[in-house]
A and B are shown apart, each in its own frame.
Chain A
Amino acid sequence: MFAYYFQLGLRSLRKNPLLTALMVLAIGCGVAASMTTYSVFRATANNPIPQKSSQLYVPQIDNWGPEDAAENKGEPPQAMTYTDATNLIRDHRAKRQTVLYPVSLSVVPNDAGLLPFMENSYAWYGDAFAMFDIPFLYGSAWSVADDNAHADVAVIGRTLNDKLFHGANSVGKDINLNGHTYRITGVVDQWNPSPLFFDVVNTNAFDDTTEIFIPFTRAVDLKISTNGNNNCNKDPGQGWDNWIRSECIWLQYWAELPNTADADAYRQYLNGYAAEQQRSGRFHWAPNTRLRDVTDWLDYQKVVPQEAKVSLLVSLGFLLICLINTIGLLLAKFMRRASEIGVRRALGASRKEIYAQFLIEAAAIGLAGGLVGLLLTGLGVIGVGLVFQPDIAKLATLDVKLVLLTLVLAVVATVLAAFYPTWRAAQIQPAWQLKSN
């Protein structure tokens, strides 16, 4: 009967082209607005590492005290001091761990035809590659021994490898960074998590990832200063040594804790560490620490732009208005066919059959609305830059998932909107209808 009802639905739609066009356009516009804004919301609210997001944690330690914390609803600072970061690394209480900070390195190509250029990079521990599931095209991460030896090693990205080595395997080759020679241990394949979860403090979270990674220990030896944020609650004094011994916060810390028990144990460790700092006289307040996994951290950092949330809500409201209009139009359309309903009921159609017929007709309208919505969503995705910042707008894409979601949303929303008109149609008393004829 589905095919029969679908055929009847199409015939009915052709009969009133103006009414049909109004409904299809209303649904198409509503769905397109929702899907366009959803495409932005989806990209910004994306879980960048779903397979491990509940295993990767950011620890926070309050090294500034209650006065500063009070300005931030009691929360500890969002970054860490060199002192705390290196202490945590030394204690090694996580399965894997890294401290990281962004640096800007000058690349001097071996190819005389290429001019030196600056490249945004990260200084971190070799564990980071395994922690963040970073894929390798060639080679691998540097070793723990390299971290401990403060070795001159580096991992570069595929794009940089293409530029400097024409895509060849560059593992074992040298690269000149800031005038120092580093041995390449690996080339990272395409890897561009969105949001850039591991450093949302220093980036706007939707930048492209960097192309060079060097050991944290080596970067500190070379006194390479951060290319990101550096916040101090008092003057650290002059010079590198004063700075890294200060209470200035400039480092991100990540710990890999495979299960809840490990996370609980790590929380206890953090509190114990803060208590120890209190006992030693460094902290003059009770331990105030946090441990957040990836999704909690992204929520806490408010990575999803406010305008993405607001525009999604507004567009869903618009869809609702379109659907309310559709309810009215469907009601008019269905009730005009009261005599047909009466005849069908007399000839053996149960109320269920009437429901099926009219809901399938609504689904056909929804499908047509979905196709129009798809077209408009495509245009919306292209034009989303008019509303959002370019770095956010570029994230909006019309992929297979969004295409299917657009069609499903259009059909489901229209069928839901059709329930009341269909219920009214099914209530038509055939006897009255046939008598009045």
Chain B
Amino acid sequence: MLKMTHLSKVYRTEVVETYALRDFNINVNEGEFVAVTGPSGSGKTTFLTIAGLLETFTGGQYHLDGVEVSNLNDNERSRIRNEKIGFIFQAFNLIPDLNVFDNVEVPLRYRGMKAAERKERIMHSLERVGLASRAKHYPAELSGGQQQRVAIARALAGSPRLLLADEPTGNLDTQMARGVMELLEEIHREGATIVMVTHDPELAARAQRNVHIIDGQVVDLAEDPRFHHSVMAARANSPA
């Protein structure tokens, strides 16, 4: 589903080159739930934005659903983002001027979908996250957990092949975080491919597989003993 080979991302200024990703390799299969972990500044979010075609990369190859994306133009990249990828952000990133219904509608509008189909998909997505009754509410009228559920509904409405989540519970309290995580697990069980960036070992432990990044490279989790230990402990305590 997602394959990066010897990928690099370099930020250049006149005096210095900074490698955000270096010889980065990852392969995520269809239907997998992968947690991408690593310390702050390790390159997790850069990986996610490149994976989501929100940013270009400097070298290497990236195949998304079998398509090599490096030579795609803005229109093609936008179309792939719209049709194949769903985003869930730490800060929810709902548009404050739009109500819940209109927020979920945004990606469907760019797909040129007819009004009746849009409405059906929106209501279905909102029902799935338990917020159908809040369709006419504005983001400011919802709790953080509810806002994140709206963001998930928005990501799901377009039936994406790949769901990219960046610290999806980072701005939520424990109870709300648990609810959102359960929702992601449910979505995964229904067949979605999920790549979730997190620095939380407990969330990482609930994924099928853990990819750890340090200094822009994928490393064996054992190379970060403290984090490794935390993940192992969380897995051991997990009810599953």
Cβ–Cβ contact B110 & A431, under 8 A: no
Asked whether any CB of chain B lies closer than 8 Å to the CB of A144, the reply is no
Contacts of A343 in B (CB 8 A): 93-95, 106
Q: How far is the CA of A4 from the CA of B45 in the complex (A)?
A: 32
Cβ–Cβ contact B82 & A431, under 8 A: no
- 8 Å CB contact of B110 from A12, A15, A349, A351: A349
Contacts of A352 in B (CB 8 A): 74-75
Q: How far is the CB of B157 from chain A (nearest CB, A)?
A: 10
Cβ–Cβ contact B79 & A348, under 8 A: yes
Contacts of B111 in A (CB 8 A): 348
Contact with B along A350-369 (1 / 0, CB 8 A): 11110000000000000000
Contacts of A340 in B (CB 8 A): 95, 97
Asked whether any CB of chain A lies closer than 8 Å to the CB of B78, the reply is yes
- 8 Å CB contact of A350 from B52, B78, B93, B106: B78
Interface residues of A in 399-434 (CB under 8 A from B): 429-431, 434
Contacts of A1 in B (CB 8 A): 109, 112
Q: How many residues of B contact A (CB 8 A)?
A: 29
Residue of B nearest to A437 (CB): B91
Contacts of A11 in B (CB 8 A): 97
Cβ–Cβ contact B95 & A350, under 8 A: no
Cβ–Cβ contact B87 & A346, under 8 A: yes
Cβ–Cβ contact A430 & B109, under 8 A: no
Contact with B along A314-358 (1 / 0, CB 8 A): 000000000000000000000000011011111111111100000
Cβ–Cβ contact A437 & B89, under 8 A: yes
The number of inter-chain residue pairs (CB within 8 angstroms) is 73
Contacts of A73 in B (CB 8 A): none
Cβ–Cβ contact A434 & B93, under 8 A: yes
Q: How far is the CB of B86 from chain A (nearest CB, A)?
A: 9
Q: How far is the CA of A348 from the CA of B82 in the complex (A)?
A: 4
Cβ–Cβ contact B83 & A348, under 8 A: yes
Given A348-B83, A353-B78: A430 in contact with B106 (beta carbons within 8 A): no
Cβ–Cβ contact A15 & B97, under 8 A: yes
Contacts of B75 in A (CB 8 A): 350, 352
Interface residues on A, range: 20 to 34
Cβ–Cβ contact B93 & A437, under 8 A: yes
Residue of A nearest to B103 (CB): A343
Asked whether any CB of chain A lies closer than 8 Å to the CB of B54, the reply is yes
Cβ–Cβ contact B97 & A12, under 8 A: yes
Cβ–Cβ contact A350 & B55, under 8 A: no
Interface residues of B in 29-64 (CB under 8 A from A): 45, 49, 52, 54-55
Cβ–Cβ contact B54 & A347, under 8 A: no
Dominant SS among interface residues on chain A: helix
Q: How far is the CA of A15 from the CA of B140 in the complex (A)?
A: 15
Q: How far is the CA of A344 from the CA of B54 in the complex (A)?
A: 11
Q: How far is the CA of A344 from the CA of B110 in the complex (A)?
A: 9
Residue of B nearest to A1 (CB): B109
Q: How far is the CB of A352 from chain B (nearest CB, A)?
A: 7
Asked whether any CB of chain B lies closer than 8 Å to the CB of A435, the reply is yes
Q: How far is the CB of A266 from chain B (nearest CB, A)?
A: 62
Asked whether any CB of chain A lies closer than 8 Å to the CB of B154, the reply is yes
Q: How far is the CA of A352 from the CA of B111 in the complex (A)?
A: 14
Cβ–Cβ contact B49 & A353, under 8 A: no
Given A4-B109, A430-B54: A342 in contact with B93 (beta carbons within 8 A): yes
Q: How far is the CA of A341 from the CA of B7 in the complex (A)?
A: 27
Contacts of B54 in A (CB 8 A): 345-346, 429-431, 434
Cβ–Cβ contact B83 & A347, under 8 A: no
Q: How far is the CB of A16 from chain B (nearest CB, A)?
A: 11
Asked whether any CB of chain A lies closer than 8 Å to the CB of B107, the reply is yes
The interface centre, meaning the residue of B74, B75, B109 with most chain A CB atoms within 10 A of its CB, is B109
Q: How far is the CA of A248 from the CA of B168 in the complex (A)?
A: 97
Q: How far is the CA of A343 from the CA of B111 in the complex (A)?
A: 15
Contact with B along A87-99 (1 / 0, CB 8 A): 0000000000000
Asked whether any CB of chain A lies closer than 8 Å to the CB of B228, the reply is no
Asked whether any CB of chain A lies closer than 8 Å to the CB of B134, the reply is no
Q: How far is the CB of A171 from chain B (nearest CB, A)?
A: 68
Q: How far is the CA of A53 from the CA of B121 in the complex (A)?
A: 65
Q: How far is the CB of B36 from chain A (nearest CB, A)?
A: 15
Given A431-B49, A437-B89, A437-B91: A347 in contact with B106 (beta carbons within 8 A): yes
Contacts of B106 in A (CB 8 A): 343-344, 347
- 8 Å CB contact of A429 from B55, B89, B90, B112: B55
The interface centre, meaning the residue of B52, B97, B112 with most chain A CB atoms within 10 A of its CB, is B97
Q: How far is the CA of A348 from the CA of B75 in the complex (A)?
A: 9
Contact with A along B154-195 (1 / 0, CB 8 A): 100010000000100000000000000000000000000000
Q: How far is the CB of A58 from chain B (nearest CB, A)?
A: 61
Residue of B nearest to A429 (CB): B55
Contacts of B79 in A (CB 8 A): 348, 350
Closest 5 CB pairs of A and B: A348-B82, A350-B78, A431-B49, A348-B110, A431-B55
Given contacts A12-B97, A344-B95, A348-B158, 18 further A-B contacts (CB under 8 A): A1-B112, A4-B109, A11-B97, A339-B93, A342-B93, A343-B93, A343-B106, A345-B54, A345-B81, A346-B52, A347-B110, A349-B110, A350-B75, A351-B78, A352-B74, A352-B75, A431-B49, A437-B91
A-B CB contact pairs (8 Å), 29 listed: A1-B109, A1-B112, A4-B109, A11-B97, A339-B93, A342-B93, A344-B95, A344-B110, A345-B78, A346-B52, A346-B93, A347-B87, A347-B110, A348-B81, A348-B110, A348-B111, A348-B158, A349-B82, A350-B75, A351-B78, A352-B75, A353-B78, A430-B49, A430-B54, A431-B49, A431-B55, A434-B93, A434-B166, A437-B91
